[in-house]
Structure 1
Amino acid sequence: MAGPLSEIFAVDVTAAVGRCSGCGSTGPVARLRVYGPEPGLVARCPDCEQVVLRLVRGPDAAWLDLRGAVSLRIALPS
Protein backbone atom coordinates (compact mmCIF):
# COMPACT_ATOMS: atom_id res chain seq x y z
CA MET A 1 0.00 0.00 0.00
CA ALA A 2 3.07 2.25 0.31
CA GLY A 3 3.13 3.11 -3.40
CA PRO A 4 -0.53 4.15 -3.79
CA LEU A 5 -0.50 6.11 -0.52
CA SER A 6 2.70 7.93 -1.51
CA GLU A 7 0.80 9.39 -4.48
CA ILE A 8 -1.58 11.09 -2.04
CA PHE A 9 0.51 12.01 1.02
CA ALA A 10 3.84 13.86 1.30
CA VAL A 11 4.87 11.70 4.29
CA ASP A 12 5.24 7.91 4.59
CA VAL A 13 1.80 6.97 5.89
CA THR A 14 2.79 3.30 6.28
CA ALA A 15 4.90 4.38 9.29
CA ALA A 16 1.92 6.18 10.87
CA VAL A 17 0.42 4.51 13.93
CA GLY A 18 -3.29 3.85 13.60
CA ARG A 19 -5.97 2.66 16.00
CA CYS A 20 -8.64 0.20 14.79
CA SER A 21 -12.18 1.37 15.50
CA GLY A 22 -13.28 -2.25 15.93
CA CYS A 23 -10.94 -3.65 18.57
CA GLY A 24 -8.83 -0.64 19.57
CA SER A 25 -5.59 -2.30 18.49
CA THR A 26 -2.79 0.11 17.59
CA GLY A 27 0.10 -0.36 15.21
CA PRO A 28 1.76 0.95 12.07
CA VAL A 29 -0.32 1.16 8.90
CA ALA A 30 2.28 -1.17 7.32
CA ARG A 31 1.00 -3.93 9.64
CA LEU A 32 -2.49 -3.92 8.08
CA ARG A 33 -3.40 -6.86 5.83
CA VAL A 34 -3.96 -5.52 2.32
CA TYR A 35 -6.26 -7.12 -0.26
CA GLY A 36 -6.75 -6.02 -3.84
CA PRO A 37 -5.94 -4.48 -6.23
CA GLU A 38 -9.28 -4.58 -8.08
CA PRO A 39 -11.51 -2.67 -7.83
CA GLY A 40 -9.42 -1.03 -5.10
CA LEU A 41 -7.25 -1.80 -2.08
CA VAL A 42 -8.76 -2.86 1.23
CA ALA A 43 -6.64 -2.93 4.41
CA ARG A 44 -7.87 -4.96 7.39
CA CYS A 45 -6.85 -5.01 11.04
CA PRO A 46 -4.54 -7.99 11.64
CA ASP A 47 -6.16 -8.58 15.04
CA CYS A 48 -9.92 -8.43 14.36
CA GLU A 49 -10.09 -8.35 10.51
CA GLN A 50 -12.21 -5.16 10.45
CA VAL A 51 -11.75 -3.00 7.37
CA VAL A 52 -9.62 -0.03 8.46
CA LEU A 53 -8.79 1.62 5.13
CA ARG A 54 -10.08 1.55 1.57
CA LEU A 55 -8.31 3.15 -1.39
CA VAL A 56 -9.66 3.36 -4.93
CA ARG A 57 -7.73 5.20 -7.62
CA GLY A 58 -9.20 6.45 -10.86
CA PRO A 59 -7.48 8.17 -13.77
CA ASP A 60 -7.83 11.65 -12.25
CA ALA A 61 -8.76 11.15 -8.57
CA ALA A 62 -8.33 8.88 -5.56
CA TRP A 63 -10.88 8.00 -2.90
CA LEU A 64 -9.60 7.20 0.58
CA ASP A 65 -11.98 5.85 3.24
CA LEU A 66 -10.53 5.73 6.78
CA ARG A 67 -13.75 5.16 8.72
CA GLY A 68 -12.31 1.97 10.25
CA ALA A 69 -9.53 3.97 11.93
CA VAL A 70 -10.13 5.97 15.09
CA SER A 71 -6.94 7.96 14.50
CA LEU A 72 -3.64 8.11 12.63
CA ARG A 73 -0.54 9.47 14.37
CA ILE A 74 1.93 10.67 11.74
CA ALA A 75 5.45 11.56 12.86
CA LEU A 76 6.69 14.77 11.26
CA PRO A 77 10.31 15.79 10.75
CA SER A 78 11.55 18.48 13.15
Structure 2
Amino acid sequence: MYGEYFHPFGFFLFIMLITLFITNIIIWKRRNSERCYYNSSTPNAMATLDNRLAKGEVSIEEYKEIKETLKH
Protein backbone atom coordinates (compact mmCIF):
# COMPACT_ATOMS: atom_id res chain seq x y z
CA MET A 1 0.00 0.00 0.00
CA TYR A 2 2.77 2.46 0.88
CA GLY A 3 5.42 0.98 -1.38
CA GLU A 4 5.00 3.57 -4.12
CA TYR A 5 4.34 6.48 -1.78
CA PHE A 6 7.22 8.52 -0.40
CA HIS A 7 6.46 10.89 2.45
CA PRO A 8 8.69 14.00 2.25
CA PHE A 9 8.38 14.85 5.95
CA GLY A 10 9.87 11.47 6.90
CA PHE A 11 12.90 12.17 4.73
CA PHE A 12 13.23 15.68 6.19
CA LEU A 13 13.09 14.26 9.72
CA PHE A 14 15.75 11.69 8.85
CA ILE A 15 18.08 14.36 7.42
CA MET A 16 17.50 16.57 10.46
CA LEU A 17 18.39 13.75 12.87
CA ILE A 18 21.57 12.96 10.95
CA THR A 19 22.53 16.66 10.98
CA LEU A 20 21.96 16.93 14.73
CA PHE A 21 24.03 13.81 15.32
CA ILE A 22 26.95 15.12 13.26
CA THR A 23 26.73 18.57 14.91
CA ASN A 24 26.78 16.94 18.33
CA ILE A 25 29.95 15.01 17.45
CA ILE A 26 31.68 18.16 16.14
CA ILE A 27 30.82 20.16 19.28
CA TRP A 28 31.96 17.31 21.53
CA LYS A 29 35.31 17.03 19.74
CA ARG A 30 35.91 20.79 19.90
CA ARG A 31 35.21 20.90 23.63
CA ASN A 32 37.55 17.99 24.28
CA SER A 33 40.34 19.54 22.23
CA GLU A 34 39.99 22.84 24.13
CA ARG A 35 40.25 21.02 27.44
CA CYS A 36 43.38 19.23 26.30
CA TYR A 37 44.89 22.49 25.10
CA TYR A 38 44.38 24.30 28.40
CA ASN A 39 45.44 21.33 30.51
CA SER A 40 48.62 20.76 28.54
CA SER A 41 49.68 24.42 28.56
CA THR A 42 50.09 24.66 32.34
CA PRO A 43 52.85 22.03 32.70
CA ASN A 44 54.70 23.62 29.79
CA ALA A 45 54.52 27.02 31.48
CA MET A 46 55.74 25.51 34.74
CA ALA A 47 58.63 23.79 32.97
CA THR A 48 59.60 27.07 31.32
CA LEU A 49 59.44 28.83 34.67
CA ASP A 50 61.61 26.15 36.27
CA ASN A 51 64.16 26.54 33.48
CA ARG A 52 64.21 30.31 33.89
CA LEU A 53 64.85 29.91 37.62
CA ALA A 54 67.65 27.43 36.94
CA LYS A 55 69.28 29.82 34.46
CA GLY A 56 68.98 32.69 36.93
CA GLU A 57 66.66 34.76 34.75
CA VAL A 58 64.15 35.19 37.61
CA SER A 59 64.63 35.54 41.34
CA ILE A 60 63.07 33.19 43.87
CA GLU A 61 60.49 35.84 44.81
CA GLU A 62 59.51 36.33 41.17
CA TYR A 63 59.41 32.56 40.73
CA LYS A 64 56.97 32.13 43.63
CA GLU A 65 54.81 35.01 42.40
CA ILE A 66 54.61 33.68 38.85
CA LYS A 67 53.96 30.15 40.10
CA GLU A 68 50.97 31.34 42.13
CA THR A 69 49.66 33.24 39.10
CA LEU A 70 49.89 30.13 36.93
CA LYS A 71 47.98 28.04 39.47
CA HIS A 72 44.97 30.36 39.22
Shorter chain as denominator, the TM-score bin is under 0.3
TM-score, structure 2 as length reference: 0.19
User: Greater relative contact order (Cα 8 A, min sep 6): structure 1 or 2?
Assistant: 1
Write 1 or 2 for the structure with the bigger share of strand: 1
TM-score normalised by structure 1 residue count: 0.18
Point out the structure with max Rg over C-alpha. Answer: 2
- Structure 1 or 2: larger helix share? 2
